[in-house]
Amino acid sequence: MLENGEEIPVPISSRNYSGKFMVRIPPEVHRHLALEAIEAGVSLNRIASAKLAH
């Protein structure tokens, strides 16, 4: 890349991440997750985050 005058990109593991991203899901999945969150007494964000972490 250097020989071609191109900049070498920053490694993915070294990048900073905001912790935010949008995901589109079917309405029924949204409903299921929302109900699960209500039953657990936590936010929809917490339920989604926990599921993504596993």
* pLDDT value of residue 15: 87
For 29, the domain range is 16-53
Please check whether residue 6 lies inside any domain of the structure.
no
Can you give the pTM of this predicted structure?
0.68
pLDDT tens, position by position, 5-18: 999 988 988 888 89
Please check whether residue 5 lies inside any domain of the structure.
no
Report how far residue 42's alpha carbon sits from residue 34's, in angstroms, rounded to the nearest whole number: 10
Number of domains in the chain: 1
Please check whether residue 42 lies inside any domain of the structure.
yes
Please check whether residue 10 lies inside any domain of the structure.
no
Please check whether residue 1 lies inside any domain of the structure.
no
Please check whether residue 11 lies inside any domain of the structure.
no
Please check whether residue 26 lies inside any domain of the structure.
yes
pLDDT tens, position by position, 1-54: 889 999 998 898 888 889 999 999 999 999 999 999 999 999 999 999 999 999
* pLDDT value of residue 23: 93
* pLDDT value of residue 34: 97
Report how far residue 46's alpha carbon sits from residue 52's, in angstroms, rounded to the nearest whole number: 10
